[in-house]
Amino acid sequence: MISGEVPNGDFPLLIRHLMPTANRSTVPGEIVDASGLRFTYPQFEERIARLAGALTACGVKPGDTVAVLDWDTHRYLECFYAIPSMGCVLMTVNVRLSRDQVRYTIDHSGATTVITHPDFLPLLTAGAPELNLKRIIVAGDAGEFEPPPGVEMAEYYAIAEAAAPEFDYPDLDERARATMFYTSGTTGNPKGVYYTHRQIFLHTFGVLTTLGTAPAQGRFDADDVYMPMTPLFHAHAWGMPYVATLLGTKQVYPGRYKTDVLLRLIQEEGVTFSHCVASVLRMLLDEVKVRQVDLSGKKMLIGGGALPVGLARSALDHGIDIFSGYGMSETCAVQTLNHLTATEVAAPLDEQLKLRTRPGRPILLCTVRTAAPDQTPTPAGEEGEIVFRSPWLTSGYWRDPDASDELWRGGWLHSGDIGKFDEDGALRITDRVKDVIKTGGEWLSSLLLESLISQVEGVTESAVIAMPDSRWGERPLALVVPSDGYELDVGTIRSALTEAAAAGVIPRYGVPEQIRIVDELAKTSVGKLDKKAIRARYVGQVK
């Protein structure tokens, strides 16, 4: 280890430096909230200072954890900056979890202060587990809400208004914890992940350099208008609010997600760049059939799960510049992004489909490998578990050393996803380790089958799960949801898959014997297929 020296004008990598007003007297962008509130970046900086001052006046101290329960509002963005910058830990609560899970995560995080939208007050009444709160700050009217004994109440706008528009932020170590949130795990209690100022700072630059230098499509620049359609509680909305703020672009915060509101904001505010999971995109495209909104040219990054080819085709038909990325709660957010080259973008849309649905290449500073069970890397074209090294991976699960050791075994962060690299260096995800169907000693990808089924006319979505089989170990069961008013026939699905097998896309043993038409499929709190619940329902097992 060669020792270093702390230079004159040392500059710690802190979230409060991710601000365009730090070095510019004028920033053209504005921040727009679905409520109609609009403010400039200098006003935003003032709002952050007021919030930090207000929390301090309430008794919040550096080192405290502050939990936030809100829709995607301007307040959330203010919390993204004010809470870490005053030396506290921002805990973004997944409000789609069950009441008991929400209470579990707040309790486990050690939060003593909660900032909440009135909609979520019912989650915070007295009850089990008892929360160890000192204060609840509600944004608006608390109505009939009775805080638990000993808990103070305050109103967000009132205390911010009473605070000074400037705040003396403390010196912080860039490795101080800045944020945390809980993964909606498929088994057991949610697990907490956490990130330092330094990690979020470097993530912001890694994502921005990759998005900024994309040569042919999916580029993000200072003239873009940004709106999140991934909740801010979910991996900091993939870190994009920090990226957009640093760049000083116009930003739009849509509040509670309603497809009509989202489409209206896209149209009226001129949104050009957004991101979401596949299910949100599907709802949006369904709404476009009703409400004529031109989505052509909009850049839309899809992550948080596979982008089915059928859905990607539909998006391309609308002129959307759709592309994929990959990351997990444990990786701060982004690890790979898929950008097409100039040549690829010029290809017919059908040829672009398989490229646009890949998670793509590791972004700058991220090392991604596929590894065999013995942890040796697998070569391009061969499946393995996806493992990571990069500057923005969670150091572990909060207060769970055993799970942290398991996550970090061998010095790489383990994704639990199975994937392989194409020859051009782009990653494909073939399945979750837990979801892959192990049949006759081979791995059969549930995602690939789902993607093929999604391309059959009249299919909205599908799930393929493993059924125990005495001969083969496991066999696939396909569950298919038809589009509205569509009479779907199991034979059509089977023919399509048999054709795919004949064409060599899947092995012959990949055609499921069992295909069922169902009304709907269980989803997790973040809108992904809940394979655990689906298996419980249709197979009666928890794998």
Q: Measured between alpha carbons, how far is 244 from 507 in angstroms, rounded to an integer? A: 44
Six token digits for residue 11: 């500059």
Q: Which residues of 35-72 are buried (b: 16+ CB within 10 A; e: fewer)?
A: eeeeebbeebbbbbbbbbbbbbeeebeeebbbbbbbbb
Q: Which of residues 320-349 bind a second copy (CB under 8 A)?
A: 342
Q: Which of residues 172-191 bind a second copy (CB under 8 A)?
A: 172-177
Compute the least distance from the CB of residue 91 to a second copy, in Å: 16
**Which residues make Cβ contacts (< 8 Å) with residue 493, sequence separation at least 6?**
453, 456, 459, 478, 480, 515
Amino acid identity of 392? W
3-state class (DSSP) for residue 69: strand
Among residues 41, 205, 226, 538, the one that binds a second copy under rule CB under 8 A: 205
Among residues 118, 140, 170, 507, the one that binds a second copy under rule CB under 8 A: 170
Of 302 and 387, which has the nearer Cβ to a second copy? 387
Of 216 and 481, which has the nearer Cβ to a second copy? 216
Six token digits for residue 419: 């994937």
Among residues 35, 125, 213, 514, the one that binds a second copy under rule CB under 8 A: 213
Of 120 and 242, which has the nearer Cβ to a second copy? 242
Q: Measured between alpha carbons, how far is 254 from 290 in angstroms, rounded to an integer? A: 20
Burial of 420 (0-12, 13-18, 19+ CB in 10 A): middle
Of 147 and 212, which has the nearer Cβ to a second copy? 212
Compute the least distance from the CB of residue 272 to a second copy, in Å: 11
Q: Measured between alpha carbons, how far is 535 from 543 in angstroms, rounded to an integer? A: 8
Compute the least distance from the CB of residue 370 to a second copy, in Å: 11
Among residues 185, 212, 416, 458, the one that binds a second copy under rule CB under 8 A: 212
First to last CA, the chain: 46
Is 399 an interacting residue with respect to a second copy (CB under 8 A)?
Answer: no
Span near a second copy by CB under 8 A; candidates 49-57, 217-225, 255-263, 498-506: 217-225
Among residues 91, 160, 208, 280, the one that binds a second copy under rule CB under 8 A: 208
Determine the size of the site formed for a second copy (CB under 8 A). 74
The radius of gyration computed from the CA coordinates of the chain, to the nearest angstrom, equals 24
Angle between helix axes 446-454 and 309-317 (nearest 10 degrees) is 40
Is 503 an interacting residue with respect to a second copy (CB under 8 A)?
Answer: no
- By the 8 A CB rule, do 390 and 195 touch? no
Span near a second copy by CB under 8 A; candidates 310-318, 393-401, 436-444, 504-512: 393-401
Of 3 and 187, which has the nearer Cβ to a second copy? 3
Among residues 348, 411, 441, 504, the one that binds a second copy under rule CB under 8 A: 411
Is 397 an interacting residue with respect to a second copy (CB under 8 A)?
Answer: no
Of 288 and 364, which has the nearer Cβ to a second copy? 364
Is 246 an interacting residue with respect to a second copy (CB under 8 A)?
Answer: yes
Is 5 an interacting residue with respect to a second copy (CB under 8 A)?
Answer: yes
Six token digits for residue 388: 């990571």
Is 404 an interacting residue with respect to a second copy (CB under 8 A)?
Answer: yes
Per-residue contact string for residues 36-75; x = within reach of a second copy by CB under 8 A? --------------------------xx------------
Q: Provide the greatest CA pair distance for the chain.
A: 73
Compute the least distance from the CB of residue 135 to a second copy, in Å: 21
- By the 8 A CB rule, do 383 and 342 touch? no
Is 171 an interacting residue with respect to a second copy (CB under 8 A)?
Answer: yes
Amino acid identity of 445? S
Compute the least distance from the CB of residue 193 to a second copy, in Å: 11
Compute the least distance from the CB of residue 161 to a second copy, in Å: 28
> Which of the residues are catalytic?
183, 330, 438, 443
Is 3 an interacting residue with respect to a second copy (CB under 8 A)?
Answer: yes
- By the 8 A CB rule, do 65 and 110 touch? yes
Distances (CA, A) of 178 to 49, 65, 441: 17, 9, 45
Compute the least distance from the CB of residue 396 to a second copy, in Å: 6
**Which residues make Cβ contacts (< 8 Å) with residue 230, sequence separation at least 6?**
237, 238, 240, 275, 276, 277, 280, 303, 304
Compute the least distance from the CB of residue 322 to a second copy, in Å: 20
Distances (CA, A) of 458 to 184, 219, 338, 483: 31, 33, 28, 5
Among residues 196, 338, 430, 462, the one that binds a second copy under rule CB under 8 A: 196
What phi and psi, each to the nearest 5 degrees, are found at residue 453?
Answer: -65, -35
Partnered with residue 384 across adjacent β-strands are 419
Span near a second copy by CB under 8 A; candidates 105-113, 419-427, 430-438, 481-489: 419-427
Is 421 an interacting residue with respect to a second copy (CB under 8 A)?
Answer: yes
Q: Measured between alpha carbons, how far is 249 from 223 in angstroms, rounded to an integer? A: 6
- Give residue 515's Cα distance to chain centre: 31
Q: Which of residues 14-33 bind a second copy (CB under 8 A)?
A: 17, 22-26
Is 495 an interacting residue with respect to a second copy (CB under 8 A)?
Answer: no
- By the 8 A CB rule, do 265 and 254 touch? yes
Is 413 an interacting residue with respect to a second copy (CB under 8 A)?
Answer: yes
Per-residue contact string for residues 353-392; x = within reach of a second copy by CB under 8 A? --------xxxxxxxx-----------x-------xxxx-
Is 222 an interacting residue with respect to a second copy (CB under 8 A)?
Answer: yes
